[in-house]
Structure 1
């Protein structure tokens, strides 16, 4: 059994600003002693939503945002004779149900007033009593800290879906330092979030730039000349329209089952689902490995283009990646295209201006298929000079490298915030 001094130590964060290092332990309070729960929207049917002049906060707004996004609201009909609880500045929203215990009880704090706005019926609405509310920005980060998330995850009950009772929320232990320390922590983390937000916008802007560039560098549907061309190729003439089957050979990989995947396997491999979850247009590093006999598999050569043979949606299947390394085992639900064409060029082309064409010929509903015979008939315009293919591929892959570097910076900032959160809040609060 822990002594009182041990319990006091657990209420002190590992990292503290210099001026608060002698300020003593934080004060622990149960959420239920600080206010009460109000009923969210009730008595509504489907016809009441996405109409009317009142607003409501959707479930995913609460789930995804530490602080409620007041731009992400939907309409709802609220009549004058209804008794509904409008939300107010300082309210805390919790999701009460989720697919996993780790995602249950996600919180969001409302930082401002919104007129005639209500909370969706799948979330819980908590309101602090007068004069008991802490610094709202500090509160938002506290409710997403490790100790709070652990308490709520442990309290989630269920099988296919996990629910949290009001009692679990009321027993939630919260720890508070003095107001000035709350403000300092809030300022530190919100400043870091601003930097993260700016970096995220930078990454998104680069991705949008790439999308626009791809639309310009490849001919639009029904055209044979791209709108944007490098100076040395502006007088090179129109691109030649050919079928994919005329340019190279298409075949299929061989089956690699889930049980064949081994973390320490000797042979790198790619299965169909990974093509649209892990990889971009160029595959340089492979994430899966197998111990299967290479003699029973189809292995890639450098410059091969991989296109799914099946997928869940037509968007998933309308993708392609160029393997820049040889000797990768390719799964049975993958089409492999061998040709003298620049593989990177073709992968960018398929993911860009040919995406719609591929989705049109794909077949199926619950499972979508793309057969080699369909791919062979796919028409595309090919630059007359291989150097133009190479130039376009180099341009887009260089941009991808920049996007990758900026994305890595974004991930590093997010990890920095995660580490700070673990240090700035006490970790063991029972």
Structure 2
């Protein structure tokens, strides 16, 4: 198919790429040897990291059959959910002696059709391609992607000069997003170092004995009726799957048109609210960085009794020592469930007020900067993800 005005052509993936499966080995073969592209490397990155940090004891034959070269596209072929299937990562250079994981399909360009790897990196992550993959996956116990399904998927390609122009435009946005994410990681690391220096390495023998509930209230989410869930609406529900370690993931949410009358007011979340997971992978903690979100059950809100302690509370629950106590508390239950009441009874040392005030003065701006960065990341991500479909439908053009 050719889009009028632009020489966009549509191909089945098997016309453009050869498919291959990755390397599967026992756990004892990992941690030494040669470079290895893992599942999470692919899942989290548009492009293969410049340096592969994982290692595997691979043979020369395996390195040949599972090699990584510039232009290779890697798609996750299995996942717990169809939304996470077919996540892509593209190699922008050759990786000598490196191999890729067995839960992944490699798409290697046949060489008969000109495709820029930088363009492919954005195309395979575009909402259009992602929706196509999610829609065709075969759900049994796990979502899966086989060669037959790959052959039915399509890629839209303009002329090479336009691919370069599109890739350059999208990459400019992508680099800004990456810079903000790395800045947030640095700020989180810095805040953790300051927290440990002040509160964990300090001689706290004379500090007051207390509990989490001395400084914070732990408020449970509301049990919304699933019959009220919509595919779109005014409000989005924050459930256990949205609360990740250090960030909130709103890529998959249910919607409500209106708030239930019986819902507590605190369940209407505000920017900066601290959330804690109470089920499954318990103890995950993140900050709310978007508006019009509602707190569902099995997620708790950590509310400081004194607003001064907001930054302290978030940093406290990001510490491994508290996470370990929370996980130990949940082990005694059938499904690793945390009780907000029991969690609030965890014993802690209460720092002197002047120390809490010093921490708030120096670190609250840092966490507010993290929130501001998140907002900018959301805006830039939306611009990046919306641009390619607009170019394909001729709603937007790029001057070459």
- What TM-score do you get using the length of structure 1 for normalisation? 0.66
Instruction: Kindly provide the CA deviation profile for residues 252-289 of structure 1, in whole angstroms up to 9, marking residues without a partner as x.
Output: 8789534399799xxxxx99969966999xxxxxx995
Corresponding residue of 1:86: 67
Provide the C-alpha distance between the structure 1 equivalents of 2:228 and 2:283, rounded to a whole number of angstroms.
29
SS at match of 1:192: helix
Provide the C-alpha distance between the structure 2 equivalents of 1:155 and 1:309, rounded to a whole number of angstroms.
31
Conserved? CA contact 1:309–1:371, under 8 Å: no
Provide the C-alpha distance between the structure 1 equivalents of 2:286 and 2:126, rounded to a whole number of angstroms.
40
User: Residues 175 and 205 of structure 1: is their aligned pair in 2 closer, same or farther, counting only changes over 3 Å?
Assistant: same
Conserved? CA contact 2:80–2:143, under 8 Å: yes
**2:364 pairs with 1:397:** yes
Conserved? CA contact 2:16–2:112, under 8 Å: no
Corresponding residue of 1:159: 140
Provide the C-alpha distance between the structure 1 equivalents of 2:111 and 2:277, rounded to a whole number of angstroms.
61
Conserved? CA contact 2:36–2:101, under 8 Å: yes
**2:349 pairs with 1:380:** yes
* Larger radius of gyration between Structure 1 and Structure 2: 1
- What TM-score do you get using the length of structure 2 for normalisation? 0.71
Instruction: Kindly provide the CA deviation profile for residues 177-232 of structure 1, in whole angstroms up to 9, marking residues without a partner as x.
Output: 2221111111111122122222222222222332233334x4335613xxxxxxxx
Instruction: Kindly provide the CA deviation profile for residues 132-163 of structure 1, in whole angstroms up to 9, marking residues without a partner as x.
Output: 34111112222223333333223211233222
SS at match of 1:219: helix
Q: Could you tell me how far 1:50 is from its partner in structure 2?
A: 3.0
Corresponding residue of 2:329: 363
User: Residues 80 and 166 of structure 1: is their aligned pair in 2 closer, same or farther, counting only changes over 3 Å?
Assistant: closer
User: Residues 426 and 172 of structure 1: is their aligned pair in 2 closer, same or farther, counting only changes over 3 Å?
Assistant: farther
What's the Cα RMSD here? 4.7
**2:107 pairs with 1:126:** yes
Provide the C-alpha distance between the structure 2 equivalents of 1:249 and 1:186, rounded to a whole number of angstroms.
50
Corresponding residue of 2:51: 71
Conserved? CA contact 1:309–1:333, under 8 Å: yes
User: Residues 352 and 240 of structure 1: is their aligned pair in 2 closer, same or farther, counting only changes over 3 Å?
Assistant: farther
**2:202 pairs with 1:202:** no
**2:372 pairs with 1:409:** no
Conserved? CA contact 2:199–2:351, under 8 Å: no
Corresponding residue of 1:223: 203
Instruction: Kindly provide the CA deviation profile for residues 301-344 of structure 1, in whole angstroms up to 9, marking residues without a partner as x.
Output: xxxx999796545644xx799xxxxxx99989979999789654
5+ residue gaps, structure 1: 1-6, 13-21, 225-238, 265-269, 281-286, 300-304, 322-327
Instruction: Kindly provide the CA deviation profile for residues 380-407 of structure 1, in whole angstroms up to 9, marking residues without a partner as x.
Output: 2442xx5664454344333322222222
Provide the C-alpha distance between the structure 1 equivalents of 2:208 and 2:355, rounded to a whole number of angstroms.
17
SS at match of 2:329: coil
User: Residues 192 and 40 of structure 1: is their aligned pair in 2 closer, same or farther, counting only changes over 3 Å?
Assistant: same
Provide the C-alpha distance between the structure 2 equivalents of 1:261 and 1:183, rounded to a whole number of angstroms.
47
Provide the C-alpha distance between the structure 1 equivalents of 2:348 and 2:39, rounded to a whole number of angstroms.
44
Corresponding residue of 2:253: none
Map of 1:178-193 to 2, 5 A cutoff? 178-193=159-174
**2:392 pairs with 1:425:** yes
Provide the C-alpha distance between the structure 2 equivalents of 1:115 and 1:374, rounded to a whole number of angstroms.
50
Corresponding residue of 1:291: 261
Corresponding residue of 1:172: 153
Corresponding residue of 2:11: 29
Provide the C-alpha distance between the structure 1 equivalents of 2:126 and 2:311, rounded to a whole number of angstroms.
45
User: Residues 137 and 369 of structure 1: is their aligned pair in 2 closer, same or farther, counting only changes over 3 Å?
Assistant: closer
